[in-house]
C-alpha cells in the first residue's frame, strides 16, 4: 500500500527498500511489521543522539509550543545561542551562518570563498580545488564541487572554477593565480570512509596559509563528535578558514551551518535563508549539543568508540576472506569488501537479519551508528551481521 503510494506520487530518485519504520529508541528501530532493526547508520549520520531521544524531543516540543519560526529579519535567541556553542566547542575564532542542509552549508562556504577572492567587486580569484572521490552535495554547484565524474552527467552547464586533485600531493601543483580555496573532507564519507593523512593535511594547511588560499573543511559528516572530537579539524589539529556542518547537528531536524574566521566577508544582503536557523532547528541543535557535550565530557563517548571498535574488529578479523581492510575513526567506520557484489549481498542480508548498514564508494561497508548507541545494541548488531554474512 505505502509502496504503491510512494511509487505513484514520489519521484523515483532513490532506490528505496520496501521497509518503513514507525518508531525507534536509541539505536533500535521498529518497522510497520513489528520487526526490530539495530541501526548502524543513524539515518546517514543524522540521528547522532539516537532515535526517540527524550531530552531532544522535549526541547523540540517545548520550543514549538512557544514559537517555531519568525524569519531572519528578527533576533532569534536559540540561533545566537547555538552559534555561540558551536564556536566555543570548535575552539576557533569564527562566526556562523545557518541553513538547512549540508549542500546549502557548502554553497555558503563557496560563496564566502568566492567573495573573498573578489577585488573591487571583480572576481580575481575564484577557483576552488577539491579532491577526487569527494562528496559535497546535490545542488548544481556542490555537484560540480564533488570530484566524481559520474555525478557530472546531465544538469550542465555547471558553474566554472572547480578543479579536481587526484590526491593530497597533487593540490599544490594545481594552485594558480585564480585559486581562492581548497575544499576537503578530512574523512571522505560517501567516497569510501577514507581518512586523509594527518601529516599531509597539516602540511597542506600551513602551505595554504602562506599562499593566502582558503582551506574549507566539509565537516557535514565528520562534524559534531562523529570522529571523537567536536570537529575532525580539532582531531587533525588544523585551523581551517571555513567549516561546514549539518548531518549530526540537529538530531534529525534539518540544519546546516557554515562557519568562518573571515567574519567580514559577507555583509547584509549577500546571503540568506528563509528557514535557516529558526527556533525549531536551533532549539533541537542546542539539545543535541547538551546531550553530546555531556556524553563527551563524562568519557562515555570515548568508551563507546573503543567498544564499537573492538566489536568491529572482532567481526572483521575472522572474516578476512570477505574484507580487504578496516578504515575510519570513531563512529565513522568502514570495512572494505572484496568486491561490489559481495557488498550488496551483505547489505541485503543485513536488512533481512535486522541490522542497518550502508554502502560507501564502490566497495565499502559503512557504519555510522548513533554516537549514543548502547553496548547491548552494538553486540546485538554484530551478532545479526555475523548471521547476515554466514552464508557468504
Ligand X SMILES: *Cc1c(COP(=O)(O)O)cnc(C)c1O
* Interface characters, 238-257, with ligand X (x: CB under 6 A): --------xx----------
Q: Which CB, 26 or 188, lies closer to ligand X?
A: 188
Residue 221 contacts ligand X per CB under 6 A: yes
Is residue 235 within 8 A of residue 93, CB to CB? The reply is: no
Q: How far is the CB of 102 from ligand X (least distance, A)?
A: 2
Q: Which stretch binds ligand X (CB under 6 A): 32-40, 185-193, 259-267, 362-370?
A: 185-193
Q: Which CB, 218 or 229, lies closer to ligand X?
A: 218
Q: Which CB, 104 or 377, lies closer to ligand X?
A: 104
* Interface characters, 2-41, with ligand X (x: CB under 6 A): ----------------------------------------
Among 48, 79, 101, 130, which residue interacts with ligand X (rule: CB under 6 A)?
101
Minimal CB distance to ligand X: which residue? 102
Q: Which CB, 132 or 379, lies closer to ligand X?
A: 132
Torsion of CA 153, 156, 162, 164, to 10 degrees: 10
Residue written as grid cell 577585488: 119
Residue 220 contacts ligand X per CB under 6 A: yes
Q: Quote the CA–CA distance of 326 and 331 in Å, as a whole number.
A: 13
Residue 43 contacts ligand X per CB under 6 A: no
Q: How far is the CB of 366 from ligand X (least distance, A)?
A: 11
227: left (phi over 0), alpha (psi -120 to 50) or beta: alpha
Among 43, 137, 192, 248, which residue interacts with ligand X (rule: CB under 6 A)?
137
Distance of CA 260 to the CA centre of its chain: 18
**315-to-101, 226, 306, 308, 380 alpha-carbon distances in Å:** 34, 21, 14, 11, 12
The cell numbers describing 243, all together, are 567549516
Q: Quote the CA–CA distance of 381 and 304 in Å, as a whole number.
A: 14
Residue 109 contacts ligand X per CB under 6 A: no
Q: Quote the CA–CA distance of 43 and 49 in Å, as a whole number.
A: 11
**266-to-101, 262, 263, 325 alpha-carbon distances in Å:** 19, 8, 7, 44
CB-based contacts of 136: which residues, under 8 Å, 6+ apart? 102, 103, 106, 130, 142, 143, 145, 146, 183, 218
The cell numbers describing 142, all together, are 556542490
Q: List, edge to edge, every strand of the sheet that includes 127-131.
A: 95-99, 256-260, 242-245, 214-218, 179-184, 127-131, 162-165
Is residue 111 within 8 A of residue 266, CB to CB? The reply is: yes
First-to-last C-alpha distance (Å) of the chain: 33
Q: Which stretch binds ligand X (CB under 6 A): 132-140, 155-163, 308-316, 364-372?
A: 132-140
CB-based contacts of 53: which residues, under 8 Å, 6+ apart? 251, 287, 291, 372
Residue 194 contacts ligand X per CB under 6 A: no
Q: Which CB, 97 or 316, lies closer to ligand X?
A: 97
Residue 193 contacts ligand X per CB under 6 A: no
Q: Which CB, 32 or 197, lies closer to ligand X?
A: 197
Residue 102 contacts ligand X per CB under 6 A: yes
* Interface characters, 80-99, with ligand X (x: CB under 6 A): --------------------
Total residues contacting ligand X (rule CB under 6 A)? 15
Q: Which stretch binds ligand X (CB under 6 A): 22-30, 171-179, 217-225, 262-270?
A: 217-225
Among 39, 185, 241, 353, which residue interacts with ligand X (rule: CB under 6 A)?
185
H helix intervals, the chain:
2-9, 42-45, 54-66, 77-90, 102-116, 140-145, 168-174, 198-210, 232-236, 279-297, 300-316, 340-353, 375-389
Q: Which CB, 183 or 350, lies closer to ligand X?
A: 183
Q: Which CB, 12 or 121, lies closer to ligand X?
A: 12
Q: How far is the CB of 187 from ligand X (least distance, A)?
A: 9
Residue 189 contacts ligand X per CB under 6 A: yes
Q: Which CB, 185 or 377, lies closer to ligand X?
A: 185
Q: What does the binding site for ligand X look like in residue numbers (CB under 6 A)? A: 101-103, 106, 135-137, 185, 189-190, 218, 220-221, 246-247
Amino acid at each position: 500500500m505505502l509502496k504503491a503510494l510512494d511509487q505513484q506520487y514520489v519521484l523515483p530518485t532513490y532506490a528505496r527498500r520496501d521497509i518503513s519504520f514507525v518508531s525507534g529508541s536509541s539505536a533500535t528501530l521498529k518497522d510497520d511489521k513489528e520487526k526490530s532493526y539495530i541501526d548502524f547508520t543513524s539515518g546517514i549520520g543524522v540521528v547522532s543522539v539516537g532515535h526517540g531521544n527524550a531530552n531532544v524531543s522535549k526541547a523540540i516540543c517545548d520550543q514549538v509550543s512557544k514559537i517555531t519560526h519568525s524569519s531572519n529579519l528578527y533576533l532569534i535567541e536559540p540561533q545566537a545561542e547555538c552559534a555561540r556553542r558551536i564556536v566555543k566547542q570548535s575552539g576557533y575564532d569564527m562566526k556562523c551562518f545557518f541553513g538547512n542542509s549540508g549542500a546549502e552549508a557548502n554553497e555558503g562556504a563557496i560563496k564566502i570563498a568566492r567573495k573573498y577572492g573578489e577585488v573591487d567587486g571583480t572576481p580575481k580569484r575564484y577557483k576552488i580545488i577539491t579532491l577526487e572521490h569527494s562528496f559535497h552535495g546535490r545542488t548544481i554547484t556542490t555537484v560540480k564541487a564533488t570530484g566524481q565524474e559520474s555525478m557530472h552527467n546531465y544538469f550542465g552547464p555547471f558553474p566554472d572554477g572547480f578543479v579536481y586533485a587526484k590526491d593530497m600531493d597533487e593540490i599544490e601543483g594545481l594552485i594558480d593565480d585564480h585559486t581562492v580555496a581548497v575544499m576537503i573532507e578530512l574523512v571522505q564519507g560517501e567516497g569510501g570512509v577514507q581518512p586523509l593523512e594527518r601529516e599531509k593535511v597539516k602540511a597542506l594547511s600551513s602551505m595554504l596559509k602562506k599562499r593566502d588560499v582558503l582551506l574549507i573543511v566539509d565537516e557535514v559528516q565528520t562534524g559534531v563528535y562523529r570522529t571523537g572530537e567536536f570537529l575532525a579539524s580539532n582531531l587533525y589539529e588544523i585551523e581551517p578558514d571555513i567549516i561546514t556542518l549539518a548531518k549530526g547537528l540537529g538530531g534529525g531536524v534539518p540544519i546546516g551551518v557554515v562557519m568562518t574566521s573571515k567574519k567580514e566577508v559577507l555583509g547584509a544582503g549577500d546571503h540568506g535563508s528563509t528557514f535557516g536557523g529558526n527556533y525549531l532547528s536551533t532549539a533541537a541543535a542546542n539539545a543535541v549539543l547538551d546531550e553530546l557535550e555531556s556524553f563527551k565530557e563524562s568519557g562515555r563517548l570515548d568508551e563507546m568508540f573503543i567498544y564499537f571498535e573492538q566489536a568491529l574488529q572482532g567481526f572483521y578479523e575472522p572474516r578476512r576472506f570477505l574484507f580487504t581492510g578496516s578504515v575510519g575513526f570513531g563512529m565513522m567506520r568502514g570495512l572494505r569488501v572484496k568486491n561490489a557484489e559481495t557488498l550488496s549481498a551483505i547489505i541485503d542480508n543485513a536488512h533481512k537479519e535486522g541490522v542497518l548498514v550502508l554502502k560507501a564508494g564502490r566497495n565499502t561497508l559503512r557504519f555510522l551508528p548513533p554516537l549514543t548507541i548502547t553496548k547491548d545494541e552494538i553486540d546485538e548488531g554484530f551478532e545479526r551481521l555475523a548471521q547476515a554474512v554466514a552464508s557468504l
